[in-house]
Amino acid sequence: MSEYFHSVRLDEEKCKGCTNCIKHCPTEAIRVRKGRARIIEERCIDCGECIRVCPNQAKVAITDDLDSIKKYRYSIALPAPSFYGQFKPELTPEIVHAGLIALGFDSVFPVALAAEAVSRAIRNYLEQQRERPRPLISSACPAVVRLVQVRFPSLLEHIIPLVSPMEIAGRVAREAAHRQTGFGPEEIGVFFLTPCPAKVTEVKQPAGDSSSVDGAISMSVVYGNLLRMMDNLNTASLSPVVSGIGIGWGRAGGENEAIKTGSLLAVDGIHCVISVLEEIERGGLEDIDYLEAQACTGGCIGGCLVPQNPFVARVRMGNLARSRQRVESGHMFPAELDYYCRKSPVPARPALKLADDPALALMRLEEAEKIVAELPGLDCGSCGSPSCRALAEDIVQGYARRSYCIFELRRRLQQLAEEIVELAQKQPPAMGREWSPARDEGEEHD
């Protein structure tokens, strides 16, 4: 069995080997071989980019289904802040919560509440820990954390050692349900309504600490089920329970708006995140205190399991956040910073190195450089690797051959054709050709 869990999988039946996905993967985790895409498990960060770009819907995200909540005596829904932006303004967060209860959950605990509390914890951490390397990087987006593990392990010490709002929400919700119902913690099922596959993987195989959440259900699936029952809900007596500060986390820039201290930078979209991380590696952003980084363009409203157009969701969430600036909801969360700290550091997962042994890795690097210089440099992807450099690295590791390059293959075919033509022109003297010493014609004896 694989040591990695991944929410993002390939549907082999649908894959046509078109190579569209290989160039978009931020960790070069996809190869096309024998007409099908293959995901290199140790490299995949479950960012969902390949799901977005596959024209054949051959990349899918595996999530828990709604029936999973029946395995528990008591089930809690944790809607992500971005969930509220999916609905028209008249369907307020409180009405959405009522819908989730009607759908079968026993209670609802908004992650936005925890986001507000985590914002305070980040603010305190930034003010107290001034000697920590700058900028500190948000730990909220699991795809970004995994990107750092795989591609930027030297930046791991920059990841703020605080857990995400989803984890705090899961922990506080379970503790509260245990107190209220008397059910044991294992009888209580906590389910995150997820905008993305990265959060599913974070729940199933967390990077470091264990997760306080039991499952992750696709936001799109829940949204479809909710809309079907909204008309029959009694929503007369609902008062606002979710604050604008926490809701803001669902879109790019919202986390920084909630932190409000120091010099803050926000970046969204995995390839833009990579540019900023490269700049941090070069030591160019030490004047920044904190980096909010989200793999999806626009933040979680741009996640690939989100049903609504992200531009529409962004406007709705902005309006919602502004209309709820006065709702204060963080009183049930502990104030001590310790409560929010990770127990274990995020480990490195340097899956891009050419060999474990440094001497061998160096040798392979030199060899790969030579091969790159001989390849056409077109990065066409026809070889099934994302770039000429990636093909060269695959070759030195024994995963590919030079003949995978169609230009190399054409060159060799031409060479072979020329040799065949040359050979065809040669006839032994016994077959009627006028004899002369071969050396007089500049030929070798053959």
- The binder of ligand SF4 chosen from 15, 30, 273, 277 (CB under 6 A): 30
Backbone angles phi, psi at 291, to 5 degrees: -115, 115
Instruction: Answer yes or no whether residue 47 interacts with ligand SF4 by CB under 6 A.
Output: yes
Beta carbons within 8 Å of 60's beta carbon, 6+ residues apart: 8, 9, 10, 11, 51
303: which 2 tokens? 């996640």
Q: What H or E segment, with its residue span, contains residue 273?
A: helix 270-281
Any idea what DSSP says for residue 262?
Answer: S
Of 245 and 371, CB closest to ligand SF4: 245
For the bound state, the minimum distance from the C-beta of residue 61 to ligand SF4, rounded and expressed in Å, comes to 9
Closer to ligand SF4 at the Cβ: 115 or 172? Answer: 115
Rounded to a whole number of angstroms, the minimum distance from the CB of residue 110 to ligand SF4 is 16
- Which of 196, 222, 264, 383 binds ligand SF4 (CB under 6 A)? It is 196
Counting beta carbons within 10 angstroms of the beta carbon of residue 304, is it exposed (0 to 12), middle (13 to 18) or buried (19 or more)?
A: buried
Distance CA 86, CA 235 (A): 18
Query: Which residue, 62 or 241, is less far from ligand SF4 as judged by CB?
Result: 62
User: What tokens appear for 288 in the block?
Assistant: 């920044």
Nearest to 123 by CA among 242, 323, 292: 292
Indicate whether 32 belongs to the interface with ligand SF4 (CB under 6 A).
no
Name the residue among 279, 297, 298 with its Cα closest to residue 288.
Answer: 279
Residue 299 binds ligand SF4, judged by CB under 6 A = yes
- Contacts (CB under 6 A) with ligand SF4, residues 318-357: none
- Using the contact rule CB under 6 A, the part of the chain among 48-56, 174-182, 321-329, 433-441 near ligand SF4 is 48-56
Nearer to ligand SF4, 6 or 97 (CB): 6
Among 96, 141, 148, 163, binds ligand SF4 (CB under 6 A): 141
295 is a site residue for ligand SF4 (CB under 6 A): yes
Closest CA to 74 of 233, 170, 183: 183
What is the Cα–Cα distance from 212 to 114, expressed in whole angstroms? 13
Of the candidate residues 19, 20, 27, 92, the single one contacting ligand SF4 (CB under 6 A): 27
Q: Do 28 and 390 contact (CB within 8 A), yes or no?
A: yes
Decide: is 39 part of the binding site for ligand SF4 (CB under 6 A).
yes
CA neighbours within 13 Å on the CB side: how many for 6? Answer: 21
- Using the rule CB under 6 A, is 126 a contact of ligand SF4? no
Q: Which helix (H) or strand (E) holds 72?
A: none
- β 107-108/74-79 pair status: parallel
Exactly one of 31, 49, 189, 247 binds ligand SF4 (CB under 6 A); that residue is 49
106 or 255, CB closer to ligand SF4?
255
The owner of tokens 């977005």 is 52
Q: Which of 303, 310, 384, 386 binds ligand SF4 (CB under 6 A)?
A: 303
**C-beta of 188 vs 203, nearer to ligand SF4:** 203
Residue 359 has φ and ψ, to the nearest 5°, of: -65, -45
Q: Which one among 19, 20, 31, 48 touches ligand SF4, defined by CB under 6 A?
A: 48
Q: Output the smallest distance, CB 202 to ligand SF4, in A.
A: 8
Does 213 interact with ligand SF4 (rule: CB under 6 A)?
Answer: no
**CB 408 → ligand SF4: shortest distance, Å?**
26
Among 86, 243, 294, 387, binds ligand SF4 (CB under 6 A): 294
DSSP letters, 415-427, are HHHHHHHHHHH--
Joined tokens for residue 327: 């709702």
Number of residues lying near ligand SF4 (CB under 6 A): 26
Residue number, 367 or 379, with CB nearest to ligand SF4: 379
Minimum distance from CB of 215 to ligand SF4 (Å)?
A: 16
Q: Is the peptide bond before 135 cis (omega within 30 degrees of 0)?
A: yes
Is the Cα dihedral 83, 86, 87, 88 positive or negative?
positive
Q: Is 195 in the site for ligand SF4 (CB under 6 A)?
A: yes
* Candidate ranges 27-35, 131-139, 271-279, 387-395; the one touching ligand SF4 (CB under 6 A): 27-35
Between 265 and 363, CB nearer to ligand SF4: 265
| 8 A C-beta contact, residue 219 and residue 307 | yes
Site residues, ligand SF4 (CB under 6 A): 8, 25-27, 29-30, 39, 44-50, 141, 143, 195-196, 198-199, 294-296, 299-300, 303
